[in-house]
Amino acid sequence: MNNNQILPVAIALLISQSVHASVSSSFDVNSENWQIVSFADFSQNNYSIIGQYQPSYISGGGNPGNYLAAQDPDSGDFTFSAPAAFLGSQVGATGLSYDLTYRDGDVNWQTTDVMLVGNGQRLLWKRDPNIVPNSGWTHISLSLAPSSEWRLGTTDGVFASQSDFHNVLSDLSGLYIHGEYTNGIIETAGLDNVVLQTVPLPGAFWLFGFGVAGLGSRIRRA
C-alpha cells in the first residue's frame, strides 16, 4: 500500500473512532453487568431503593439473539439498571433507545419510564402517549433534551432545562429503565438492544483534525 492509499484508510479509522461513540448492550454473550433495582413507589415520588437483584439471562427469543428478563421481585417498582459503561461523563449523549417485551394485557401501571440520576439531581421521562408493551418487541426511543416529557426531581416537578441535562449527564451515576407496567400481579419484562447515542465533544473534532494533519505530515515525510 503506497502513501496515497494509507492516508484515506487512516482518516476513515479516525472518523470511526471519533464519531461512533455510542454505548450499547445487545446481550449477545451475557448480561453485561446490568442489574435489577427496585424503587419504593414511582407514582408517589418515593425513590428509595428497596431491593437489588440479578436479571435472568435468556438464550434466544431476543430481538434478535439473547436478552435480559426480570420477574417482579417485590412490592416496589423494578427497573433495569445500567452498568458502569453507560455512566460517568456522558455530556455528549443525545438519545436513548431500547427494546422491551412484556406480557399481553393488564397494562395499567403508567409511571416514570426512564430515570437519570447524577450530581444530586434526578431527571424523569414519561412518554406521551403511554408506552404499552406486549409480548412482542416494542422499540422505544427518546431524546436527552428538554421537552414536556422530561421533569426535574419528581413527576410533577418543573420541566427539565438544558442546564439540568448537562449537570446530570456530566456525572451520570444511574440510568434506570422501568420494567413494570401492571399493578398488583407478578409480571415479567424483557430488555434488549439498549443504545445510549452520543456525539463527540468539540474537543474531539479538534483532536481529530490535529491527528489527521499530523498523520498526513508523517506520511509525506515517509
Domain assignment of residue 222, yes or no = no
Domain assignment of residue 176, yes or no = yes
Q: The domain that contains 132 carries what CATH number?
A: 2.60.120.260
Give which of 213, 218, 212 is closest to 12, Cα–Cα: 212
Among 62-71, 133-142, 210-219, which stretch is predicted with the lowest mean pLDDT?
210-219
> HSE-up of 10 (CA within 13 Å, CB side)?
18
Domain assignment of residue 14, yes or no = no
pLDDT tens-digit series, residues 41-96: 999 999 999 999 999 999 999 999 999 999 999 999 999 999 999 999 999 999 99
Long-range contacts of 118-122 (CB under 8 A, 24+ apart): 118/167, 118/168, 118/169, 118/170, 118/171, 118/172, 118/173, 118/174, 119/167, 119/168, 119/170, 119/171, 119/173, 121/152, 121/153, 121/164, 121/167, 121/168, 122/47, 122/152, 122/153, 122/154, 122/168
Domain assignment of residue 221, yes or no = no
What integer pLDDT is reported at residue 99 of this predicted model?
Answer: 98
Domain assignment of residue 8, yes or no = no
Residue 189 has pLDDT above 90, yes or no: yes
Contact 73, 53 (CB under 8 A): yes
Predicted confidence band at 1 (pLDDT cuts at 50, 70, 90)? low
How many domains is the chain partitioned into structurally? 1
What integer pLDDT is reported at residue 202 of this predicted model?
Answer: 53
Domain assignment of residue 165, yes or no = yes
Domain assignment of residue 59, yes or no = yes
Domain assignment of residue 200, yes or no = yes
Range of the structural domain that residue 73 is part of: 22-216
Q: Can you give the pTM of this predicted structure?
A: 0.83
